[in-house]
Structures are given as structure tokens and as C-alpha cells.
């Protein structure tokens, strides 16, 4: 990872199979804001023990990453929680198939106090219970497992087919004062930017990835564009030069948008020159 980004605002979340430790270093040095070592879907049942061993060895060797653990109803969950409770480099866990508040609280009870938990919602039950998941004190942020959700519900992969589920995650996260949710991966590189921009338009601020080469594209799509940063600088300058005069009901929302853009630019270390903004523009 080329720079340290807070997981509250992290854009690209790179999943790496735990059975391929040769990819751990590639992931660490990629453009990903966050790396998740996957001991769940990417690992066959007879490989779980080796996957835990490879992951623990790497985390205890001075490296840091998140770990996607098996769901709370699985035969592997207890062993995952026990194993990673002693991982010195654990950033937090992603809990697969989060479907209830108790899934989060039970997991938190088995991990060191304060361990951050990403609730991966990827079933119809998860969507139906997403409000209680979001309001669980153990939930750090919510992610959308689009692949498993589509399998569970026989839903297509079009934007309209998944719009309801995405909206539920966004609204539940906002109502619970959580960071905006993380969208599922787009596997087709040709559709990656459009998929990332759609996630942003839906109100999501992160995206999962299965390919380290996709992370830079995700970061770009979920960051303010140079023209937006320039507009924000210009708007705030014009607003301040006017003495902060409110001319109509759109001024304060636009001021809030400009301030958010500049905060994101600062967080992601993006710079752009200020644009010239007329009185009518603000």
C-alpha cells in the first residue's frame, strides 16, 4: 500500500486467498487502501487449517491486514476467532454472511476488545436484518457480497437488479452513523470504472476487489476529480469573499459538498488548482 488510509474512508479493499501467501506481498505493495486475507470463500474446507497458519505467520511477522473469517453458523468460525485473536498484525475481521446482530456480537465476544468488524452482508436474510446489523455496537462498517447475494436470491447483475439491496445498505449505514458501505467487486476490468462510479452514485464509498491491478481504478473512481476539487476551492473562496452571504436555499448544501470534497482531497492527498467561481455559481 503506497499510503496509509483510514479504514473508515478506505476505497479499495483487496481480497487475497489465504492459500496463496506468495500474493500477500503483492497485495501489501499494491494501490489498495486495505488488504483482506480471505480464509472463507477462497479456501476449501480441507485447506482451512493451512490457510490460518499461512495468514498468522504473515501477520505475526510484522505485516498488517484484515482477515475475512467464516460465517458464525459455519463449522470453522470458532477456530477462526480463536486463531486470529492472537494475530499481532490484525487490522480487523470481515465476518462472512452477517445476518443478525447476534452474529456480530458473538464474534466480538471471541475477539480482543475493540477489534473492528466489517459485516459482510450477502444474503436475503442479511438485507432484511441490515438495520439491526448496522446498529450493532460491534459493527465497524458494512460491505456488500454481491456474488453470494445473487446466488441466494437469483438476482441478475444489472444495476437496477441490485439497486434495492445497495440502497438498503447505504440508508442503514447512514442511519446508524457508520461510514458509507463497501460495494462488491466488479470482475470485468472493462466495466470496473462504470461499476465504481455507480457504487459512488448509490452512496457507497468503498469497493471490494479480487485483483490488485484493479485497485488504482477503484481509488480514482471513488476520489473527487480534479475539476470537483477546483470547483470546491473556488466556491469556498467566493463564498468567503461575499462575507458568507446566503442567497438561497442551495448555498448551505453546496458549501457542505465543497467542504466534503476538500476533506476527501486532503485525506487522499489529491491537489488541484482553484477554479474561478462567479457569484451565480454559488
Question: Which residues participate in the annotated binding site?
Answer: 68, 122, 148
Cβ within 8 Å of residue 279, ≥6 positions away: 238, 242
User: Following CA atoms 132, 207, 120, 50 in sequence, which dihedral angle do they give, to the nearest 10 degrees?
Assistant: -160
Distinct helix (H) and strand (E) counts, the chain:
12, 8
CA separation, residue 272 to residues 23, 64, 222 (Å) = 35, 32, 16
Cell 487502501 locates to 33
Residue ranges for the binding site for Mg(2+)? 122, 148
Alpha helices in the chain (DSSP H): 24-28, 48-59, 77-84, 101-109, 124-128, 130-134, 146-153, 159-175, 189-201, 215-221, 226-241, 251-267
Largest CA distance in the chain: 68
- C-alpha 282/C-alpha 263 separation (Å) is 19
For 21, residues 6+ apart whose C-beta sits below 8 A from its C-beta are 54, 55, 57, 58
Partnered with residue 209 across adjacent β-strands are 14
Determine the 3-state secondary structure of 211 from DSSP: coil
- Residue carrying the nine cell digits 480487523: 92
Which segments are annotated as binding site for substrate? 68, 122
Amino acid at each position: 500500500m503506497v499510503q496509509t488510509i483510514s479504514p473508515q474512508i478506505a476505497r479499495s479493499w483487496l481480497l487475497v486467498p489465504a492459500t496463496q501467501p506468495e500474493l500477500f506481498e503483492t497485495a501489501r505493495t499494491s494501490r489498495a487502501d486495505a488488504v483482506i486475507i480471505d480464509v472463507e470463500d477462497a479456501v476449501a474446507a480441507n485447506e482451512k487449517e493451512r490457510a490460518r497458519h499461512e495468514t498468522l505467520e504473515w501477520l505475526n511477522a510484522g505485516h498488517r491486514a484484515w482477515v475475512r473469517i467464516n460465517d458464525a453458523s459455519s463449522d470453522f468460525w470458532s477456530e477462526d476467532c480463536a486463531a486470529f485473536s492472537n494475530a499481532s498484525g490484525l487490522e480487523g475481521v470481515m465476518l462472512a454472511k452477517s445476518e443478525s446482530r447476534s452474529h456480530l456480537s458473538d464474534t466480538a465476544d471471541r475477539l480482543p476488545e475493540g477489534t473492528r468488524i466489517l459485516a459482510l452482508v450477502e444474503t436475503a436474510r442479511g438485507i432484511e436484518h441490515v438495520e439491526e446489523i448496522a446498529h450493532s455496537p460491534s459493527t465497524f462498517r458494512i460491505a456488500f457480497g454481491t456474488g453470494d447475494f445473487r446466488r441466494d436470491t437469483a438476482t441478475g447483475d444489472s444495476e437496477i437488479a441490485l439497486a434495492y439491496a445497495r440502497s438498503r445498505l447505504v440508508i442503514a449505514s447512514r442511519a446508524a452513523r457508520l461510514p458509507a458501505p463497501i460495494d462488491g467487486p466488479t470482475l470485468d476490468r472493462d466495466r470496473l470504472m462504470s461499476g465504481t462510479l455507480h457504487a459512488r452514485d448509490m452512496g457507497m464509498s468503498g469497493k471490494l476487489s479480487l485483483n490488485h491491478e484493479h485497485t488504482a481504478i477503484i481509488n480514482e473512481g471513488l476520489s473527487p476529480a480534479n475539476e470537483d476539487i477546483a470547483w470546491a476551492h473556488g466556491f469556498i473562496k467566493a463564498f468567503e469573499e461575499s462575507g458568507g452571504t446566503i442567497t438561497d436555499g442551495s448555498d448551505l448544501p453546496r458549501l457542505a459538498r465543497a467542504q466534503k470534497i476538500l476533506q476527501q482531497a486532503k485525506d487522499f492527498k489529491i491537489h488541484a488548482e482553484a477554479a474561478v467561481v462567479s457569484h451565480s455559481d454559488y
